Amino acid sequence: MCRRERTLSTRSSDPVWTKKHNKTKTKAQHSAPLAIKERYRPLEPEWLKKAEELLLRRSQECFKEERKAVESQQPLDRKSKLKRLDIAVNDGLIRIRGRIDAAEELDRDLRQPVVLDAKDDITKLILTHYHDKFNPGNHATVMNEVRRRFWVLGLRSAVREIAHRCQWCLVRKGTPKTPPTGDLPREQLRYGEPPFTCPDGRTRVVDVRTSTGLIKRPSSKIVRLVSQPTVEDKIAEQQRGGPEQLRVAGQEDGAKHEGEDVGDAANT
C-alpha cells in the first residue's frame, strides 16, 4: 500500500529557513552586556584584608574564655592552652606580645603574630595554602613561613598531617611494589633438584636459609638429606658397618697408630 506524504499548503517554498528575523532590540537587551560586566567587580585590597580579619576572628572563637580574661585583665585559667604565652587583644584579634615591638620597620604580623589553634578548619586551610605554595616544601620551610604571620598551637603535627593527606606528596614518596611471581613449571619442580638453574640446566649456586639469614653456597657442597633410607642406603650401611662398628674401628685404628709411633720412637 502506497502512502503519500501530506504537507500543508504554503505560499513560499520554505518559509522557515528564508524568513528573516529583523527585530528591534529593546533597552534591556542593550544594557545586558553592561549588567554582566557589573556583576563581576574586582576585589579591593581593603576588602580582602577585612575578610581575612573576619575569618581569623571566627577561628579564634575557641579562645572565648581567654579573650574575656585578657579584656577584663584577669589571669588565665591553669588548664588554658595560652597559659604560658604573653597575649594581648589588638583590633579584635588575640596576638602574642614579643620583645621586638620597637622595630617599626617590621610588619605587625611579624612582631605580634596571631594566635590560632591547629584543630580549627580555617587554620587547616591556611596551612594547606602554605603547603601548596612551596610546592610542597619540607616541614621546616612551611613552619618557618607560617610563623612569620601566625602562632599556631601544635604546628608541627598539623603540618605533618597535611603532608600525609597531600596526594602529590604521596605520589612523590611512594615506592613501587613488586608484582607477585607466577608458579614454576612442572619441569623445575623435580624431587631433589633445585628449581632455579643456569641456562645450561645446571645449578651452581644455591641459597641456604640459616638462623642469620640467606647464604649463597655452591651446589657441590650441598648434600640432600633423606628422611627415610632406601634399599641402596641399607646395603651401603651393611657393607661399611653401622655407627657402633665404625666407632670401634676408629678406636682400633687410633690405638694401632699410637703403637706404631711408640715403636718408631724406641728405634730412634
> Could you tell me the sign of the dihedral formed by the alpha carbons of 257, 259, 265, 268, in that order?
negative
Q: What is the pLDDT of residue 262?
A: 41
What is the pLDDT averaged over residues 198-218? Answer: 77
User: Minimum mean pLDDT among 47-51, 56-60, 188-192: which range?
Assistant: 188-192
Does 261 score more than 90 pLDDT? no
Integer Cα distance of 139 and 150 in angstroms: 16
Please tell me the number of Cα atoms within 13 Å of 197 on its side-chain side.
Answer: 15
| pLDDT (tens digit per residue) in 146-166 | 999 999 999 999 999 999 898
The residues near 151 (Cβ < 8 Å, ≥ 6 apart) are: 85, 96, 113, 114, 115, 116
User: Whose CA is closest to 7, among 241, 258, 15?
Assistant: 15
Integer angstrom CA distances of residue 7 from 4, 11, 12, 14, 190: 10, 12, 13, 12, 86
Higher pLDDT, 257 or 87: 87
Does 131 score more than 70 pLDDT? yes
User: Minimum mean pLDDT among 61-75, 194-208, 216-230, 253-267: which range?
Assistant: 253-267
Does 14 score more than 60 pLDDT? no
Amino acid at 268: T
Does 121 score more than 70 pLDDT? yes
Q: Model pTM greater than 0.85? A: no
Strand duo 150-153 + 114-117: pairing: parallel
Does 12 score more than 80 pLDDT? no
What is the pLDDT averaged over residues 98-116? Answer: 88
Integer Cα distance of 49 and 57 in angstroms: 12
106 phi and psi, to 5 degrees? -85, 155
Binned at pLDDT 50, 70 and 90, residue 128 comes out as very high
Kindly tell me the number of DSSP H helices and DSSP E strands found in the chain. 11, 6
Place of cell 542593550: 30
Integer Cα distance of 27 and 163 in angstroms: 55
Q: What is the pLDDT of residue 215?
A: 86
